[in-house]
Amino acid sequence: MDEAVFRNIEACAELSRTMRSALGPNGLNKMIINRLEKLFVTSDASTILSELEIQHPAAKILVLSAEMQQKEIGDGTNMVIVIAGTLLEKAEELLKMGLSVAEVIDGYNTAAKKALEVLEDMVVEEIKDLYDRKAVARALKPVIATKMRGYEDLLTDLVTEACVGVLPSHHVFDVDNVRVCKVPGAGIHNSTVMQGMVFRREVEGFRQRTENAKLAIFTCPFDIAATETKGTVLLKTAEELKNFSSGEERLLEENIKAIAKAGANVVVAGGKFSDLALHYLDQLGIVAVRLLSKFDLRRLCRATGATALPRMDPPTAEQLGHCDVVELTEVGDAQLVAFRQKDSRISTVLLRGATDQLLDDVERAINHAINTYKALTKDARLVPGAGASETEIATRLEVAAAQCPGLEQYAIAKFAEALRELPRFIAENAGVRGSEIITKLAAAHHETGKRNFGLDLENETIGDTVTLGYLDLFLTKSWAMRYAVNAATTVLRVDQIIMAKPAGGPKPKENKDWDNDD
């Protein structure tokens, strides 16, 4: 057997051992200082992996698979790494037993297929109505609980409120429609959900609030239009100069008056407001807001139903957007421009928290939950969590292995063993004796009627996950399983790694003059 395969397995196993301790609701945080010296405190696998900058090519395959899970579902990344790593650890034992790589791969693939079948059979619930806040909260709570234990009730309510509020009737949910706005200060308990959008900006003019707002949104700067070709003002007398300036002013004034006449009382622009334009806007009592990002502009268009205009022309009635209140508010020491509207297509979670790190971590948890909601709109089936599905799959795989005639049976059995390890890691992270509880679990799954039994870590025992409410998304689990097996078999298939000399790129820029950020 090739030494290279073992070295690859070792690297992957090492990675999964590192990530293991961050798994589950009691997963421990990791403190990472990345190469830009930024500090992260999190148990979120995708963040840890992307900041760690894994170099080993074999381990990188696992990381890439996890990234794919993050893209596909947006949750369950750690599961990919841990399952793949454990599978590889078990594969090493098989190879040392004398199985060939091809046999292990065949066995794992067969087992994975079977496992997905069993998983489908494990579905215990399907959320029929995605507007049902209670049912949705039931599915989202475990997701948040794994990231932000202790705040799960509070955050679940926030996310559910935000997501359900903006789900369009045709059920195509865009994660972009739930925004998160972080303002340091106060505590997580002060976080709120708001229908509409919030930007961390100030208004440009004097007027700070208007109700029943009609929005005119421009992508251009709010100023006198300029020609693309270079223009020269040809003046011969002082009179002409005076006329030119006053003509310019008059033109702008007329233009803005026309906009006001069209009904707009809020102007949002993607470019600068000239002082003169602001002057006229203030005169007419129009709120002026400048947004720097064109994506924010588009979102605001979507939220208010406005059409963005590329030129400073007065908008027609259909091109105007509408929202209930536009106002400048102060939260903590931050100035926020809020566009509030009932039944908006976009909602914003206004997060409060003591430190930036905490806020970042809460945001990640919320993003995971939002992604999960998106996955729910695709497939609302739920399977038992807390190790119940894994144990059940393992139990049935062991039966299948015994009936398999070829050498794959060893691989299938090891696959089952690897899945059994998952609840052990979750339990050990909670400080419970792993071996003890997984034997209990295994025993329970051999009894009839107890196939949904999983870990109940609060009471350091096992229990029915359906009554406990520990449910996972079918989609998350099945993709995680698929990606994990795919990664593991890919690593196994490699018999040699050929490395080119690292390219000597330019040195990273040193910013000597920058201030320390701590």
When asked if residue 61 is in the footprint of another protein (CB under 8 A), the reply is: yes
Residues 6+ apart with CB under 8 A from 102: none
| Smallest distance, another protein to C-beta of residue 57, A | 5
When asked if residue 257 is in the footprint of another protein (CB under 8 A), the reply is: no
| Smallest distance, another protein to C-beta of residue 479, A | 9
CB nearer to another protein: pick between 230 and 446: 230
Report d(CA 331, CA 410) in Å as an integer: 61
Residue 65: name the closest of 15, 22, 101, 115 by CA. 15
Q: Which of the ranges 157-165, 206-214, 242-250, 256-264 carries the binding residues for another protein, by CB under 8 A?
A: 242-250
Site map 63..82 versus another protein, x via CB under 8 A: -xx-xx--xx----------
CB nearer to another protein: pick between 348 and 371: 371
- Which amino acid appears at position 151 of this protein? Y
Report d(CA 83, CA 62) in Å as an integer: 10
Report d(CA 418, CA 211) in Å as an integer: 60
CB nearer to another protein: pick between 68 and 325: 68
Q: Which of the ranges 59-67, 134-142, 333-341, 457-465 carries the binding residues for another protein, by CB under 8 A?
A: 59-67
- Which amino acid appears at position 91 of this protein? A
CB nearer to another protein: pick between 66 and 444: 66
Report d(CA 91, CA 110) in Å as an integer: 14
When asked if residue 29 is in the footprint of another protein (CB under 8 A), the reply is: no
CB nearer to another protein: pick between 31 and 233: 233
CB nearer to another protein: pick between 311 and 507: 311
Among 44, 89, 103, 361, binds another protein (CB under 8 A): 103
- For another protein (CB under 8 A), the number of binding residues is 61
Residues 495, 496, 497, 500: what is their CA dihedral angle, to the nearest 10 degrees?
A: -150
CB nearer to another protein: pick between 308 and 468: 308
Q: Which of the ranges 247-255, 327-335, 365-373, 411-419 carries the binding residues for another protein, by CB under 8 A?
A: 247-255
Report d(CA 166, CA 178) in Å as an integer: 8
Q: Taking the CA of residue 463 as centre, how many other CA atoms within 13 Å lie in the half-sphere pointing to its CB?
A: 13
Taking the alpha carbons at both ends of the chain, their separation in whole angstroms is 51
Q: Are strands 347-353 and 178-184 parallel, antiparallel or unpaired?
A: parallel
| Smallest distance, another protein to C-beta of residue 162, A | 21
Q: Which of the ranges 221-229, 321-329, 426-434, 451-459 carries the binding residues for another protein, by CB under 8 A?
A: 221-229
Report d(CA 16, CA 8) in Å as an integer: 13
Residue 305: name the closest of 170, 202, 161, 197 by CA. 197
Among 250, 342, 378, 433, binds another protein (CB under 8 A): 250
When asked if residue 298 is in the footprint of another protein (CB under 8 A), the reply is: yes
Helical axes 356-378 vs 133-147, angle rounded to 10°: 140
Give the 3-state DSSP-derived string for 408-473, with helices as H, strands as E and coil as C: HHHHHHHHHHHHHHHHHHHHHHCCCCHHHHHHHHHHHHHCCCCCCEEEEHHHCEEEEHHHHCCEEE
Cβ contact 94:411 at 8 Å: yes
CB nearer to another protein: pick between 96 and 209: 96
Q: Which of the ranges 147-155, 178-186, 235-243, 466-474 carries the binding residues for another protein, by CB under 8 A?
A: 235-243
Among 15, 19, 23, 58, binds another protein (CB under 8 A): 58
Site for another protein in 362-421 (CB under 8 A): none
| Smallest distance, another protein to C-beta of residue 95, A | 12
Report d(CA 454, CA 179) in Å as an integer: 34
Site for another protein in 457-496 (CB under 8 A): 482-483, 486, 489-490, 493-496
Cβ contact 408:107 at 8 Å: yes
When asked if residue 117 is in the footprint of another protein (CB under 8 A), the reply is: no
| Smallest distance, another protein to C-beta of residue 232, A | 5
When asked if residue 240 is in the footprint of another protein (CB under 8 A), the reply is: yes
CB nearer to another protein: pick between 240 and 436: 240
How many Cβ atoms sit within 10 Å of the Cβ of residue 229? Answer: 5
When asked if residue 308 is in the footprint of another protein (CB under 8 A), the reply is: yes
What are 120's two structure tokens?
Answer: 């489908």
When asked if residue 226 is in the footprint of another protein (CB under 8 A), the reply is: yes
CB nearer to another protein: pick between 169 and 232: 232
The three-point CA angle 423-17-26 to 5° equals: 45
DSSP state of 39: E
Among 247, 293, 332, 355, binds another protein (CB under 8 A): 247
Among 238, 310, 317, 447, binds another protein (CB under 8 A): 310
When asked if residue 57 is in the footprint of another protein (CB under 8 A), the reply is: yes
When asked if residue 231 is in the footprint of another protein (CB under 8 A), the reply is: yes
Cβ contact 435:423 at 8 Å: no
When asked if residue 253 is in the footprint of another protein (CB under 8 A), the reply is: no
| Angular region, 386: left φ>0, alpha ψ -120 to 50, beta rest | left
| Smallest distance, another protein to C-beta of residue 81, A | 14
Q: Which residues of 415-432 are buried (b: 16+ CB within 10 A; e: fewer)?
A: bbbbbbbbbbbbbbbbeb
When asked if residue 170 is in the footprint of another protein (CB under 8 A), the reply is: no
Write out the residues near another protein by the rule CB under 8 A: 55, 57-58, 60-61, 64-65, 67-68, 71-72, 100-103, 109, 219, 224-235, 240, 243-244, 247-248, 250-251, 298, 301-302, 307-311, 482-483, 486, 489-490, 493-503, 505
